[in-house]
Protein backbone atom coordinates (compact mmCIF):
# COMPACT_ATOMS: atom_id res chain seq x y z
CA UNK A 1 0.00 0.00 0.00
CA UNK A 2 1.24 3.46 -0.96
CA UNK A 3 0.38 6.69 0.84
CA UNK A 4 1.04 10.28 -0.14
CA UNK A 5 1.69 12.58 2.80
CA UNK A 6 1.52 16.26 1.81
CA UNK A 7 2.98 18.75 4.27
CA UNK A 8 1.81 22.27 3.48
CA UNK A 9 4.15 25.22 3.88
CA UNK A 10 6.27 27.75 2.05
CA UNK A 11 9.87 27.27 0.94
CA UNK A 12 12.53 29.69 2.13
CA UNK A 13 14.33 30.21 5.42
CA UNK A 14 12.11 33.18 6.29
CA UNK A 15 9.22 30.70 6.67
CA UNK A 16 11.09 28.09 8.75
CA UNK A 17 9.46 27.32 12.11
CA UNK A 18 6.44 29.54 11.44
CA UNK A 19 2.87 28.57 12.26
CA UNK A 20 1.95 28.37 8.56
CA UNK A 21 4.77 25.86 7.91
CA UNK A 22 3.71 23.30 10.48
CA UNK A 23 2.88 20.86 7.65
CA UNK A 24 6.55 20.94 6.59
CA UNK A 25 7.64 20.46 10.22
CA UNK A 26 5.43 17.38 10.66
CA UNK A 27 6.63 15.96 7.33
CA UNK A 28 10.26 16.49 8.40
CA UNK A 29 9.72 14.75 11.75
CA UNK A 30 7.89 11.81 10.11
CA UNK A 31 10.65 11.30 7.53
CA UNK A 32 13.41 11.55 10.15
CA UNK A 33 11.66 8.96 12.35
CA UNK A 34 11.32 6.56 9.42
CA UNK A 35 14.85 6.98 8.05
CA UNK A 36 14.08 8.84 4.82
CA UNK A 37 15.73 11.82 3.17
CA UNK A 38 14.17 14.67 1.24
CA UNK A 39 15.46 15.39 -2.24
CA UNK A 40 14.40 18.13 -4.60
CA UNK A 41 12.25 16.75 -7.40
CA UNK A 42 9.41 17.97 -9.57
CA UNK A 43 7.28 20.57 -7.70
CA UNK A 44 8.40 19.34 -4.26
CA UNK A 45 10.99 18.08 -1.86
CA UNK A 46 10.24 14.34 -1.81
CA UNK A 47 11.12 11.53 0.57
CA UNK A 48 10.22 7.85 0.46
CA UNK A 49 9.87 5.75 3.62
CA UNK A 50 8.65 2.29 4.48
CA UNK A 51 7.04 1.27 7.76
CA UNK A 52 5.09 -1.87 8.69
CA UNK A 53 4.67 -2.87 5.05
CA UNK A 54 3.40 0.57 4.04
CA UNK A 55 5.18 2.79 1.50
CA UNK A 56 5.03 6.52 2.16
CA UNK A 57 5.78 9.22 -0.39
CA UNK A 58 6.14 12.42 1.63
CA UNK A 59 6.20 15.77 -0.14
CA UNK A 60 6.83 19.38 0.80
CA UNK A 61 5.65 21.39 -2.22
CA UNK A 62 8.06 23.95 -3.67
CA UNK A 63 5.13 25.69 -5.37
CA UNK A 64 4.44 27.85 -2.31
CA UNK A 65 1.29 27.43 -0.26
CA UNK A 66 -1.14 28.95 -2.76
CA UNK A 67 -0.27 26.40 -5.47
CA UNK A 68 0.02 23.28 -3.28
CA UNK A 69 -2.53 21.41 -5.41
CA UNK A 70 -0.19 21.37 -8.40
CA UNK A 71 2.45 19.40 -6.48
CA UNK A 72 -0.09 17.11 -4.81
CA UNK A 73 -1.79 16.20 -8.09
CA UNK A 74 1.54 15.60 -9.85
CA UNK A 75 2.74 13.17 -7.15
CA UNK A 76 -0.64 11.43 -6.86
CA UNK A 77 -0.54 10.75 -10.61
CA UNK A 78 3.18 9.88 -10.76
CA UNK A 79 2.98 7.41 -7.86
CA UNK A 80 -0.54 6.19 -8.76
CA UNK A 81 -1.89 6.94 -5.27
CA UNK A 82 -5.64 7.25 -4.79
CA UNK A 83 -7.12 10.31 -3.09
CA UNK A 84 -8.19 8.11 -0.13
CA UNK A 85 -4.52 7.28 0.52
CA UNK A 86 -3.45 10.93 0.61
CA UNK A 87 -3.15 12.93 3.81
CA UNK A 88 -2.66 16.70 3.82
CA UNK A 89 -0.96 18.22 6.89
CA UNK A 90 -2.19 21.77 7.43
CA UNK A 91 -2.26 24.61 9.96
CA UNK A 92 -5.69 25.71 11.21
CA UNK A 93 -6.61 29.03 12.84
CA UNK A 94 -10.03 27.72 13.91
CA UNK A 95 -8.51 25.15 16.26
CA UNK A 96 -6.86 25.96 19.56
CA UNK A 97 -3.14 25.44 19.93
CA UNK A 98 -3.64 22.20 21.83
CA UNK A 99 -5.93 20.63 19.17
CA UNK A 100 -5.40 18.21 16.29
CA UNK A 101 -8.26 17.07 14.10
CA UNK A 102 -8.28 14.40 11.40
CA UNK A 103 -11.01 14.75 8.75
CA UNK A 104 -11.89 12.71 5.65
CA UNK A 105 -13.07 15.83 3.79
CA UNK A 106 -14.29 19.37 4.34
CA UNK A 107 -14.16 22.96 3.24
CA UNK A 108 -10.99 24.97 2.70
CA UNK A 109 -12.02 27.24 5.64
CA UNK A 110 -10.29 30.15 3.91
CA UNK A 111 -6.92 28.36 3.76
CA UNK A 112 -5.28 29.15 0.42
CA UNK A 113 -3.34 25.87 0.28
CA UNK A 114 -6.52 23.82 0.75
CA UNK A 115 -8.40 26.09 -1.65
CA UNK A 116 -5.87 25.34 -4.41
CA UNK A 117 -5.91 21.60 -3.69
CA UNK A 118 -9.71 21.59 -4.01
CA UNK A 119 -9.53 23.54 -7.27
CA UNK A 120 -6.92 21.21 -8.79
CA UNK A 121 -8.48 17.95 -7.56
CA UNK A 122 -12.04 19.21 -8.19
CA UNK A 123 -12.99 17.69 -4.85
CA UNK A 124 -13.28 18.43 -1.13
CA UNK A 125 -13.09 14.68 -0.45
CA UNK A 126 -9.50 14.21 0.62
CA UNK A 127 -8.18 13.45 4.11
CA UNK A 128 -6.48 16.20 6.07
CA UNK A 129 -4.86 16.52 9.49
CA UNK A 130 -5.64 19.97 10.85
CA UNK A 131 -3.05 21.28 13.33
CA UNK A 132 -4.49 23.98 15.57
CA UNK A 133 -2.37 27.14 15.72
CA UNK A 134 -4.84 29.25 17.69
CA UNK A 135 -6.02 32.72 16.76
CA UNK A 136 -4.40 35.07 19.26
CA UNK A 137 -3.89 38.06 17.00
CA UNK A 138 -5.20 41.61 16.88
CA UNK A 139 -7.66 42.66 14.20
CA UNK A 140 -5.87 43.03 10.88
CA UNK A 141 -2.81 41.06 12.07
CA UNK A 142 -3.78 37.55 10.88
CA UNK A 143 -1.04 37.36 8.22
CA UNK A 144 1.64 38.43 10.72
CA UNK A 145 0.37 35.84 13.20
CA UNK A 146 0.23 32.96 10.70
CA UNK A 147 3.66 33.77 9.26
CA UNK A 148 5.09 34.40 12.72
CA UNK A 149 7.24 32.06 14.78
CA UNK A 150 5.92 30.10 17.74
CA UNK A 151 6.20 31.72 21.17
CA UNK A 152 8.72 29.98 23.46
CA UNK A 153 5.94 28.98 25.84
CA UNK A 154 4.09 27.27 22.94
CA UNK A 155 7.04 25.13 21.82
CA UNK A 156 6.56 22.23 24.29
CA UNK A 157 2.92 21.87 23.15
CA UNK A 158 3.94 22.08 19.48
CA UNK A 159 6.64 19.42 19.87
CA UNK A 160 4.17 17.13 21.64
CA UNK A 161 1.59 17.67 18.88
CA UNK A 162 4.17 16.97 16.15
CA UNK A 163 4.88 13.59 17.81
CA UNK A 164 1.12 12.95 18.06
CA UNK A 165 0.78 13.85 14.37
CA UNK A 166 3.35 11.18 13.45
CA UNK A 167 1.32 8.61 15.40
CA UNK A 168 -1.84 9.75 13.60
CA UNK A 169 -0.17 9.36 10.17
CA UNK A 170 0.96 5.85 11.12
CA UNK A 171 -2.52 4.96 12.37
CA UNK A 172 -4.12 6.44 9.23
CA UNK A 173 -2.04 4.00 7.15
CA UNK A 174 -2.43 0.94 9.37
CA UNK A 175 -5.87 1.34 10.98
CA UNK A 176 -7.73 3.51 8.45
CA UNK A 177 -9.22 6.95 8.79
CA UNK A 178 -12.41 6.02 10.70
CA UNK A 179 -10.58 4.17 13.48
CA UNK A 180 -7.88 6.85 13.65
CA UNK A 181 -10.48 9.61 13.95
CA UNK A 182 -12.23 7.67 16.71
CA UNK A 183 -8.94 7.18 18.59
CA UNK A 184 -7.42 10.65 18.20
CA UNK A 185 -10.11 13.29 17.58
CA UNK A 186 -10.88 14.30 21.14
The 10s digit of each residue's pLDDT in 17-48 is 999 999 999 999 999 999 999 999 999 999 99
* Catalytic residue ranges: 20
Condensed to tens digits (0 to 9), the pLDDT of residues 98-141 reads: 999 999 999 999 999 999 999 999 999 999 999 999 988 889 89
Average pLDDT over residues 156-177: 98
C-alpha distance from residue 167 to each of 30, 107, 172, 175, 183 (Å)? 9, 24, 9, 11, 11
**Residues 149/128, Cβ–Cβ less than 8 Å:** no
Q: pLDDT category, 186, cuts 50, 70, 90?
A: confident
Average pLDDT over residues 162-184: 98
Residue 24 is classified by DSSP as: H
Residues facing 87 on adjacent strands: 5
Mean per-residue pLDDT over the chain, rounded: 96
pLDDT in the model for residue 136 = 87
Task: Tell which CATH classification among 3.30.70.3400, 3.40.50.1470, 3.50.50.60, 1.10.645.10 matches the domain 2-184.
Answer: 3.40.50.1470
pLDDT in the model for residue 40 = 98
Amino acid sequence: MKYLIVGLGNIGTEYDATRHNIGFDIADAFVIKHGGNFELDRHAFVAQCKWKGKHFVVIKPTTYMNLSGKAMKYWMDKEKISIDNCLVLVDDLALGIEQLRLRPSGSDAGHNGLKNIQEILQSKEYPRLRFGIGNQFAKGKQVDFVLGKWDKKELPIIQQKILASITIIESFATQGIAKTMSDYNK
